[in-house]
C-alpha cells in the first residue's frame, strides 16, 4: 500500500505481523526536499512494546536453536532481496531523508554486502579448547547474549538499522529495534527483506514511537540483554546511564568532530578535492564527516581555493533529480543549527568564502559552505556541525595541529594528508580517534571495525569485532569421570 506521494504506508513489525499499533497515534513524515507531508508513522504504546519484548524473548529461543548454517542461509536470502530491491529501497530513503538517489541506492547495495559479511563471519565465531589435565575438558564458548534493544537515527536509513540487525542476527540474537521516526519506511522495507527471506516470527521486531518513552521501557525490561545505540553524544550518555542502572552492557556509536590535518608535504589540490568530496556526502550529516580542516600555512591558500571551487561545483537539489550532487538537510533542526553556527563564527570574526545560507526555494537546502579565520572559541570548532560546513584553519607546527585535533572530548574519525611515511606514522600514533584515514577520506568497510574513543562511544561495528558486543564468553570446565 502506498500514499498519494508514492510513499509506502508505514507499519511496525511485531511478532511476525505488520501492524499499526494500539492507539492509532501517529507522527507526520516530511520530505525534506519539498517540506510536504508524505505519510505518517505509527507510534507504539506500552502494550505494543510489551508484545515486541515477548516476541523477542520467544524469537531468541527459536533463533538461538537454529543451526548456524540455516541462519546463514536465511541471512544470505535476505541479502539477495536487499540487493534486488536496492533501487526501490533507495527511492524511499531519498524521499524521506533527502540524500541523492545514487547515495541511497549505493547504501542499500553496500548494506546487502555487510549482511553477507557478518553472516559468514558468524560461522567462524569459534571458542577454544584449553590444554588441561587428562580427564578434564576446558573450553571457552561464545554464545549470543540474548534479545537486543537497538535505537538508530535518520542519517543512514538503510545502513544504520542494518548494522545493528545484521550483527545481532548473525550472532544468534533477537532484536527489538526502534527505527527513526523521520525515516521509518526505509527501515520497514529493510525489515521486509528479512521477513520475506523466512526469518522466524519474533526474531526481528521493528517499532517506532516517542523515543524517550520507548528507550525507557525497553532498556529496563528484563528481556533485554544488550542496548545498542547510534546517535548524538548526549542521548548516548543518557541511554548508557539507563543501561548501567540495570547492569546491561551497551554499544554506543556516537558523534565526532573529525579533524583533517593537511601537512606541508601533501598535495593541497588533491587533498582539497578528496576532502571536499567526503564533506558534501549526505550533506555532511555523517558521524565521520570531515569537519575541522587544519592545513599547513605554506599550502593553506591553494587548499582553500580548490576547496571553494569544489564547493561551488556541487549541484544542490532534490535527491530524486538526475545530476544532484547534494540533497537537502534531513530536517529543519539541521538548517537552524547551520544558521546558528555560522552566525556565531561570523560574530567572532570568521569569513564565509562561499555558501553560508539556505537556498531560496522550498526544502531544507543549504549551500556548501567554506569558512576561514574561524577562531578556536567559535562554536563551530567544538560542536559537530552535522551539515555542509567546512572551517579551514592554518597551522605552523604539526604538534600544535595534533593538540588542536585532540583537544575535543570526541574521538571518532580523523584524517591526515602527508607524503612522508614518518609523518603518517606520527599521525597514526598520536591522533585520538577510532578511525583514521591517511591520504584519503574513505567511508566504512564491512571487513574492518568502526567506532569511537572518548565521548564518541565504545564498541565496534564492522569487522570481526562487530560480533563481540552480541556474544558472551562462557568458560566451561568438564570433569569427564567424576
CB closer to ligand NAD out of 151 and 364: 151
Residues in contact with ligand NAD, shown as a per-residue x/- string from 262 to 301 under the rule CB under 6 A: -------------------------x--------------
**452 within 8 A of 256, measured Cβ to Cβ:** yes
Ranges within 219-248 binding ligand NAD (CB under 6 A) = 230-232, 235, 238-239
Grid cell in block for residue 173: 540474537
Q: Report the C-alpha gap between 478 and 16 in whole angstroms.
A: 39
Residue with cell 527489538: 176
Active-site annotation holder among 173, 193, 263, 287: 287
Least distance in Å: CB of 118 to ligand NAD? Answer: 19
SS3 415: strand
Active site residue 19: no
CB closer to ligand NAD out of 153 and 259: 153
Point out which span in 58-66, 91-99, 112-120, 210-218 binds ligand NAD (CB under 6 A).
Answer: 210-218
Q: Report the C-alpha gap between 262 and 239 in whole angstroms.
A: 36
- Is 153 near ligand NAD (CB under 6 A)? yes
Least distance in Å: CB of 308 to ligand NAD? Answer: 25
- Helical packing angle, 68-84 and 86-97, nearest 10°: 70
Least distance in Å: CB of 467 to ligand NAD? Answer: 20
- Taking each continuous run of H as one helix and of E as one strand, the counts in the chain are 13, 22
**195 within 8 A of 165, measured Cβ to Cβ:** no
Active-site annotation holder among 253, 306, 432, 461: 253
Q: Where are the beta strands (DSSP E) in 298-395?
A: 351-354, 369-372, 389-395
Name which position in 255, 319, 356, 363 contacts ligand NAD (CB under 6 A): 255
Residue with cell 527513526: 180
Name which position in 384, 432, 455, 461 contacts ligand NAD (CB under 6 A): 384
Q: Which of 416, 427, 414, 401 is nearest to 454 (CA)?
A: 414
Name which position in 114, 162, 180, 418 contacts ligand NAD (CB under 6 A): 180
**366 within 8 A of 337, measured Cβ to Cβ:** no
Active site residue 253: yes
Per CB under 6 A, residues contacting ligand NAD are 151, 153-155, 180, 211-212, 215, 230-232, 235, 238-239, 253-255, 287, 333, 384, 386
Q: What residues are annotated to the active site?
A: 253, 287
Amino acid at each position: 500500500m502506498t500514499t498519494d506521494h508514492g510513499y509506502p504506508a508505514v507499519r511496525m513489525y511485531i511478532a511476525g505481523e505488520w501492524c499499526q499499533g494500539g492507539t492509532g497515534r501517529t507522527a507526520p513524515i516530511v520530505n525534506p526536499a519539498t517540506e510536504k507531508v508524505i505519510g505518517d508513522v505509527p507510534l507504539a504504546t506500552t502494550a505494543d512494546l510489551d508484545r515486541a519484548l515477548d516476541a523477542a524473548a520467544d524469537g531468541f529461543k527459536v533463533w538461538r536453536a537454529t543451526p548456524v548454517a540455516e541462519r546463514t542461509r536465511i541471512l544470505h536470502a535476505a541479502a539477495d532481496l536487499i540487493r534486488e530491491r536496492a533501487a526501490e529501497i533507495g527511492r524511499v530513503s531519498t524521499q524521506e531523508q533527502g540524500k541523492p538517489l545514487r547515495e541511497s541506492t549505493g547504501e542499500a547495495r553496500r548494506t546487502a554486502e555487510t549482511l553477507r559479511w557478518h553472516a559468514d563471519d558468524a560461522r567462524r565465531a569459534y571458542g577454544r579448547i584449553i590444554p588441561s589435565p587428562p580427564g578434564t575438558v576446558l573450553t571457552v564458548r561464545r554464545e549470543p547474549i540474548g534479545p537486543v534493544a537497538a535505537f538508530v537515527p535518520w542519517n543512514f536509513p538503510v545502513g544504520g538499522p542494518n548494522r545493528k540487525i545484521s550483527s545481532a542476527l548473525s550472532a544468534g540474537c533477537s532484536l527489538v529495534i526502534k527505527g527513526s521516526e523521520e525515516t521509518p519506511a526505509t527501515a520497514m522495507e529493510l525489515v521486509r527483506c528479512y521477513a520475506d527471506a523466512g526469518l522466524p516470527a519474533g526474531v526481528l521486531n521493528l517499532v517506532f514511537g516517542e523515543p524517550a518513552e520507548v528507550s525507557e521501557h525497553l532498556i529496563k525490561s528484563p528481556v533485554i540483554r544488550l542496548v545498542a545505540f547510534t546517535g548524538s553524544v548526549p542521548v548516548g550518555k543518557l541511554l548508557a546511564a539507563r543501561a548501567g542502572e540495570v547492569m546491561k552492557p551497551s554499544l554506543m556509536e556516537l558523534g565526532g568532530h573529525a579533524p583533517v590535518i593537511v601537512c606541508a608535504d601533501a598535495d593541497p589540490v588533491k587533498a582539497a578535492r578528496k576532502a571536499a568530496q567526503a564533506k558534501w556526502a549526505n550533506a555532511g550529516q555523517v558521524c565521520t564527516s570531515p569537519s575541522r580542516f587544519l592545513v599547513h600555512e605554506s599550502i593553506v591558500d591553494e587548499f582553500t581555493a580548490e576547496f571553494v571551487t569544489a564547493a561551488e561545483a556541487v549541484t544542490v537539489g532534490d535527491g530524486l533529480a538526475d545530476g544532484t550532487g547534494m540533497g537537502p538537510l534531513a530536517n529543519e533542526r539541521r538548517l537552524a543549527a547551520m544558521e546558528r553556527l555560522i552566525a556565531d563564527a561570523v560574530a567572532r570574526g570568521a569569513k564565509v568564502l562561499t555558501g553560508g545560507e539556505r537556498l531560496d526555494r522550498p526544502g531544507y537546502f543549504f549551500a556548501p559552505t567554506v569558512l576561514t579565520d574561524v577562531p578556536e572559541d567559535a562554536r563551530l570548532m567544538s560542536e559537530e556541525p552535522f551539515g555542509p560546513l567546512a572551517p579551514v584553519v592554518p597551522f605552523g607546527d604539526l604538534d600544535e595541529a595534533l593538540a588542536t585535533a585532540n583537544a575535543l572530548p570526541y574521538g571518532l574519525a580523523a584524517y591526515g594528508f602527508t607524503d612522508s611515511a614518518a609523518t603518517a606514522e606520527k599521525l597514526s600514533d598520536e591522533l585520538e580517534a577510532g578511525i583514521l584515514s591517511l591520504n584519503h577520506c574513505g567511508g566504512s568497510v564491512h571487513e574492518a571495525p568502526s567506532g569511537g574513543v572518548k565521548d564518541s562511544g565504545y564498541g565496534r561495528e564492522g569487522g570481526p569485532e562487530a560480533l563481540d558486543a552480541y556474544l558472551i564468553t562462557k568458560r566451561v570446565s568438564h570433569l569427564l569421570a567424576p
